[in-house]
Structure 1
Amino acid sequence: MEEAEPPECPVCLQIYDAVSSIPRVLTCGHTTCEACLKQLPSPFPNTLRCTVCTLLTKIPNSVSSLPKNLDLIHFSSVLQHRHPTEDKKVISPSSPPENGKNQSVLFPLTLKSWSYEFYCKWKKWVIPKDCISIEKIGLDNDGGVVNGKVVKSFESDHVMGFVLREKEDVGLVKVGIFVEGEEDSKLFKSSYESSIVTVLCGMKEVERDELEIILNVTLRVSNVGKAYGFWYNEDDKCVYIVWQKFNSPNLMNCVLKKQEDEAERLNSDEISGLGMLGMEMCEILSNLHLEGLVIGFLSVSCFGFNDFGRVCVDLSEVLNAGRRVNMALQRAHKDLDVNLKSNLLDENLAFISPEMLLQFVDKERFEFDWGKSIYEVRYGSDVWSLASLMVWLIVGSSFVEEMESFLHCVFNTIKDEKGCDYPDVWILTGGNRPVITELWKCLRELVIKPQFDMGVGLKQEVKKENSGRCVVLGELCHVVEEIDKELIHGLQGKDKKNGADMELRVDGDVVESMTHGRVKCIDMKGHLDCITGLAIGGGFLFSSSYDKIVNVWSLQDFTHIHSFKGHEHRIMAVVSVDEEQPLCISGDNEGVICIWKATFPFPEEPIKKLYEKKDWRYSGIHAMAISGTEYLYTGSGDKLIKAWSLQDYTLSCAMSGHKSVVSTLIVSDGVLFSGSWDGTVRLWSLSDHSPLTVLGEDKLVNIASVLSLSADHNLLFVGHESGNIKIWHNDVLLKSIESHKGAIFSVNKNGKWLFSGGWDKTINVQEISEDVDGVDVTPVGSITCNSTTTALLYWHGKLFVGQADRIIKVYHGI
């Protein structure tokens, strides 16, 4: 028979003694050495979580004042003298494993096609939906140009010192369409942020990387219209990039004014003025080239002026002009009789380099070795386009006539199915073109005579074009259309594929199915008044109502099985005890508690009725919670929380502290949380029912009643009457989010997903992510209901929703 070992601390494994490892007894009855207790974190003032049972227990002013376990000290001393042992190595205290069964079912790891890291990367570019409104939508023949206006001021966190000002004009360029699955009943609606990120995720990685480069380049290059971010228009399901617009006259107005006096030749001052404009254009393009960005074509409408008269590039107009040019070329590609001069020069005033023209017209038919081909769209393409634009400004309509013959020559060559040699007009392509700095020097001579140019003697080494990767802005004009087609065709193909499996898979997790828009709903009817609570136990669903009845439902086919009828007043709450002997417990607004046996066959009468004392101020039970098989807790209108023993059904104690009705109760990790109409949440120890701390007590004005609670380990989610959800970590407020328009009657957290519902007839789904900086909340989507949501419960992939219209809805996937 083995002899007994000396008792040791469960944390550091040191043998207990009266000097270095003194055993201290906690209020829960377990013992840990004093040294380890001093190292444990204190989540709330004067509290510690037991290392054995994980209960949160109250301690006096210091750990040293806790009582010593004299029996363990004596027993350890006797055994050590009888069998000396070697000192054991001390290890650092670690978090104890959690005991007990985990009754909750966690959500799957993937709800959507994009990850949380992907969302964090792009969320800084998301503009709130109520900031922008569409002012004008163009016609199809002009590319459907969309202009917007700032409705609500917004300060950007990625553009230093920049603010979207109210009533400011902005440019809108479509980058994609958010397409949902076509179902007979679309119950789930993706959130605003989720719609934007889903469209970005639907792009090819190369296209998305190029888009990111374009956005970042606009922040670094001066005299270029800034990109503010992405905005989603729920009316047309389109995601737009919001761009800065210049209110000053653009180059188009200057051109129109010049055309009135075209018969007269330009004088030297006018030529010098055009030379200055050209130099500023070269400087802008040069800076863009240094960042790896090529426009690919230039239109007169792309240039504007800032408040100081400097030339600026309006990138929103660049993209919209590219759309118009692309549409014109596609029409010309189908019809030989289309007047290219009218479509490209008169209407759009666009000058496209030959290689960019090839990209626009028939990109897929021609495959070149882009590293060697002179027909690759590179930085020289902008030189060609800018030089053509400057010559046209100086020469006038005669240059347009020459460009018309050039366009027909190139276009007919491209349309030749046999493949002809390219015309001689392509002589200034690829490496034969000068760099942008050489063009800048030529234009400088129109402004400053060489003998008076102070910088002519400076020896500057002309750097060759960047041989690395370049992003062609003009290609984005038709990439967007390709993305839209891929999204729509891909979704249609997925719908067809899923349709084939529809009969095989008739039930699925509601969270998994939200991504595909395949959420179905089952109505459970049987109550005659507002639903007040939901609970699951013993394999059944229990629902309480103002109709004074607790209904029992099958979780297999969602049919009504039985009705508990024992209350004479409105039932306010229901809970279940899912242990060896399942119980259903309900409480009404007159303080009557009915305890029912929750096994088949169901009884007609409760096995026990409990009665709370009441006075003239009393307004009955408002909330209930249970702690295993030990206690039933009730929150009442008399501001008290009462603990009822589930062993002998007697009142154990009453906890006071709240200043108004106790409206909600939950039990989690050895702590009882109570919410009240006084706007506070109080925490109580389950071991001795002593108060631990108070959350929200410091707020004296604009108090919002607490109506719902949900806890998940160290996080607490509090639903308020104001529509806000506050997230607490122990006694620290991490975040307050405006989730609903009106009171939040129910909050339910499972895994990393948070459901909430209330007065606004909407169930919001949000993803909760913890990191070193705190907690982040990602809106995923919403489910629109036809009545106020009063209760929420997630179980095995199904979401049970109690409503004020007497109906219980079961949302599930297919």
Structure 2
Amino acid sequence: MTGSSRKGRVFLDESNGGHGGKFGKLKKDEFDGYNSDNHPRKNSPFAMDDAPHLDPQMAADNAPYDATLSPLSKSPWSSHLNLNEDASVSNENEALVGSLVREEGHIYSLAATKDLLYTGSDSKNIRVWKNQKEFAGFKSNSGLVKAIVIAGEKILTGHQDGRIRVWRVSGRNERQHKRVATLPTLRNYIKCSMKPSNYVEVRRHRNALWIKHYDAISCLSITEDHSLIYSASWDKTFKVWRTANFKCLESVTAHDDAVNSLVVGPERFVFTGSADGTVKIWRREEHGKRTKHSFSQTLLKQECAVTALAINVEGNLLYAGSSDGLVNFWVRGGSWEHKGVLRGHKLAVLCLVTAGGLLFSGSADMAICVWRRTLSNDHTCVNILSGHSGPVKCLAAERDPDAMCNERKWILYSGSLDKSVKVWKVAENAAAQTNVQPPCLSLDQFPRVSSLRKMGSRRY
């Protein structure tokens, strides 16, 4: 969630004076750690001293690796089941059933698949949880893990250093994860660097290869058949990668400011939301072995930043959260029509996820709103889940495996900058709570992290 203002952006300089040429010479040190997470890169473009948008506590979390925090040693997490926490859950259908408290970093990303939960933070470790207990773990030198996506047998992670890392579970031991690629791959990087036409200007007098994100990755998404990977970045672009060989197929300069969110919809539609206040639709076309994305429509244009997007499983409802605490939504008939605004949060909406007829919205006000949709696409806030002591940065939902066949119950996971993950059980047909309101908080109650001190930031 942490971000910088325009003045605080950090760019990778591919063509400074020390490189000697217009497009620069390929430096060996630039690839240290590229395909080996056992060797930290010497020339990280995101040095902590050069990143004013990062919190001092985050700098401490990204200090040289401490072996005591290794996934192979004792977990720094503690699992608390059936807590009687101060949460707004007052019936048996909706309850906080577990809390995982982390001591090594703020939670920025999570993904759930079957009975496993993957969590990423601003530490080096990515944790894997099963039945609310630590199951496995793996690490990367990049530090902050801003996005996690599950693509079949592959686990994709997007990082602050602008790279995507691909992991696979070992065939011999399901607790071990092996890194199989870093995108862009070293081979593609070297091949692409040979042609001057492959360099683009990313800043005045600074050039970079078009296949490489030169700023933090904000989110990842995949197509339904897992054939294509999408990565969106604070560098104003989104890129398309082929899963089969991890080749970058296309780079699209999508917005005038950081791309905060991207979702893949049906019929080859792609939706992007940006710090420039717009939500745009793109249409994908196949051209042989490559893709071509064409701009289709701008759904929203406003002053405040668009911070989160979500689309339902059927692909006919799109939601967009904003830094003003509102959630706009559109319904697709013959075209996408704006149908209303959901008002439930006092601060920025940082994450959205759909589950059946429900929408969950997490916010910097530390609350999670539960919205229920009717057949006429009206939305009602039926409950507010409060228990976090920091901004709710990420959400994931899956069906409750304990629910009966005719029951529509969900497991909701929420990750927060309070360094915890909470697990909730939510019933779709639960009675609406009366007088639900987000917690009334003063500025003194907010945790002192840069993401809250710099509420004016448009990057999330």
**TM tier, smaller:** 0.3 to 0.5
Higher relative contact order (CA 8 A, sep 6+): 2
The alignment's TM-score, normalised by the length of structure 2, stands at 0.47
The alignment's TM-score, normalised by the length of structure 1, stands at 0.27
Give the structure with higher Rg (CA).
Answer: 1
